[in-house]
Amino acid sequence: MAPYEPIDLSSLKTRVKEQIQAAFPDAHIDYCLTCGLCASGCPATGLEGLDPRKFLRLLVLGQDEEVLSTNWIYSCTMCQRCKHACPMGIDVGRIVYEIRGMRPKEQRPPNLQRSCDLQKKSNSTGIPNEDFVWVVGDVLAEVRKNEPEWSDLEAPIDKKGAMFYLNQNAKEPTVEPEEMVPLWKILHRVGIDWTYSSKWWDGANYCLFTGDPDDWEYTVRMQAETVDALGCKYYINTE
């Protein structure tokens, strides 16, 4: 008797794999040679006991419960190193993105989902837009007062027709507002005509990481419409 029985892959129930292939026809999960090149350069290798090669094996073998429940999918940075290393061109990061979207919202990392939900209203920290405007003005006034060489520094908001629209990581005005100043100084020193907006000013997009394309598209659209309404020519995404 053979020490093992071969597995007939065609007999396995692989619902998640099929869902991914329907949503992402170039996934080509079955092309995997199990060579491990993806795992060799992946920053998520070894976390949660998995790596991209093992993760694909779970998918191919129909281990749907583990695929959908492992938090390894949130260790993946979606950097796509695996895709570039893979002889078969398999994009594990893109596959991970699809699986994140299959998780019910209440089973996702709460901070991630909360940041995305807040962002769909305005910004990922949930501070009122008026607070952002106030903080920018307050920090600017402090710099002008305490640093005479920067007494003409500017941090424009809603400046119509500015050449560049700049967004802002929402954490900075919320918890470390002085971190906004170095970039203001650089822009000022080189004579850039720029502006923030008083709404949709958050440059981070947590909805990119939840796996919901509709949420991601919505937040990007709102930012893009804001840039257009101000008549800015270029959009600088600081994130």
Burial of 34 (0-12, 13-18, 19+ CB in 10 A): exposed
How many Cα atoms are found within 13 Å in the side-chain-facing hemisphere of 105? Answer: 8
Nearer to ligand SF4, 90 or 139 (CB): 90
Strand partners, 201: none
Identify the sign of the CA torsion 127, 131, 136, 139: negative
Q: Tell me the per-residue interface mask from 90 to 129 with ligand SF4, x by CB under 6 A, - otherwise.
A: x-xx--x---------------------------------
Q: How far apart are CA 99 and CA 23, in angstroms?
A: 11
- Binding of residue 27 to ligand SF4 (CB under 6 A): no
Which residue is at the shortest CB distance from ligand SF4? 93
Q: Tell me the per-residue interface mask from 133 to 152 with ligand SF4, x by CB under 6 A, - otherwise.
A: --------------------
User: Least CB distance from residue 44 to ligand SF4, whole Å?
Assistant: 4
Burial of 210 (0-12, 13-18, 19+ CB in 10 A): buried
User: Least CB distance from residue 134 to ligand SF4, whole Å?
Assistant: 39
User: Least CB distance from residue 53 to ligand SF4, whole Å?
Assistant: 4
Residue from 19, 28, 30, 36 touching ligand SF4 (CB under 6 A): that is: 36
38-97 binders of ligand SF4 (CB under 6 A)? 38, 42-44, 52-53, 56, 76-82, 85-88, 90, 92-93, 96
Nearer to ligand SF4, 18 or 178 (CB): 18
Q: Which residues contact 24 (CB under 8 A, 6 or more apart)?
A: 94, 95, 98
Please state the separation of Cα 218 from the chain's center in Å: 14
Q: How far apart are CA 170 and CA 126, in angstroms?
A: 9
* Coil/strand/helix, residue 14: coil
Binding site for ligand SF4 (CB under 6 A): 32-38, 42-44, 52-53, 56, 76-82, 85-88, 90, 92-93, 96
